Amino acid sequence: MDLQGQSMTQMHPMKPAPAIFKRNPPIAGEAEAIERAKNGDAEAFSRLYALHKRRVYTLCLRMLGNVSEAEDMTQEAFLHLFRKIGSFRGESAFSTWLHRLTVNLVLMHLRKKGLNLVSLEETINPSDEDTPKRDFGSRDMHLAGSVDRVALERAVALLPPGYRMVFILHDVEGFEHNEIAEMLECSTGNSKSQLHKARLRLREILRRSEGPAPEQQPAQPAFKEAAL
């Protein structure tokens, strides 16, 4: 219940998050749909689902790396939205509020699965073996021309969970380190450090993938399909 209570607090941010707000400009017709949904308009809620389902699902999928769990959490996020939309006060962009709600639900889900505070910390702080090796690289080999969206998506899916979480929250979703620290219950220094390690690991993965392709290796999906 503590987690739930904390999560509910975090679902109603008291101050706007400028970085997110810049990346989440208001969507045409959204404000009207929110007000109508607050008044119980079923079609308005349907409209909000249509507007945000892909972004919420993609966020869940990237955080969880599993189609089945991502769909479950998308469902939970919109059920929470349906129940709590009356408390949305417009102090941040609606999608910021919805994404924060989603992140908190996913984190609660992960903790319920066994990633409690201690093990989450362990996940965020992998062993030294797991830490990217110091490697400044060679000058004549750099990533600028070789990174594309697909390659990066696949590389992110290969990150250890703790690295992946911080990278997605900061570099993809645009949350600030202090916000991430609050959500993950770690220090801002830890968030900065893990983000840096995540980027170093991604560099390693992307550089490795630039090498000669293994013979007859089939393309791997970025995410696991639903467990049978």
Partner 1 sequence: MTDFEFPNFDTMTPAEFESCLPELFANSNGSVSTDPRLQTFLRNNPDCAALVRDLETIAEHAKSLFEPDYEPSDAVWDNIQNKLRQEHPGENNHPVPAKP
> Is 42 a binder of partner 1 (CB under 8 A)?
yes
- d(Cα 138, Cα 28) in Å, to the nearest integer? 47
H or E element that contains 112: helix 94-112
> Is 27 a binder of partner 1 (CB under 8 A)?
no
Collapsing DSSP to helix, strand or coil, 224 comes out as strand
> Is 94 a binder of partner 1 (CB under 8 A)?
no
Minimum separation from the CB atom of position 228 to partner 1 (A): 15
What lies within 8 Å, CB to CB, of 183 at 6+ separation is 10, 100, 103, 104, 107, 169, 175
Closer CB to partner 1, 122 or 153, in the complex: 153
Closer CB to partner 1, 70 or 107, in the complex: 70
Closer CB to partner 1, 6 or 204, in the complex: 204
Give the closest residue to 80 by CA, choosing from 66, 97, 63, 62.
97
H or E element that contains 44: helix 42-64
Of 136-155, binders to partner 1 (CB under 8 A) are: 136-139, 141-144, 147-149, 152-153
Pick one of 22, 53, 89, 112: the residue that binds partner 1 (CB under 8 A): 53
Q: At what angle do helices 30-38 and 94-112 cross, to 10 degrees?
A: 60
Pick one of 11, 17, 34, 47: the residue that binds partner 1 (CB under 8 A): 47
What lies within 8 Å, CB to CB, of 179 at 6+ separation is 17, 169
Q: Which residues bind partner 1 (CB under 8 A)?
A: 23, 40-43, 45-47, 49-50, 53-55, 57-58, 61-62, 70-71, 74-75, 78-79, 82, 134, 136-139, 141-144, 147-149, 152-153, 156, 167, 171-174, 177, 192-193, 195-196, 199-200, 202-203, 206, 223
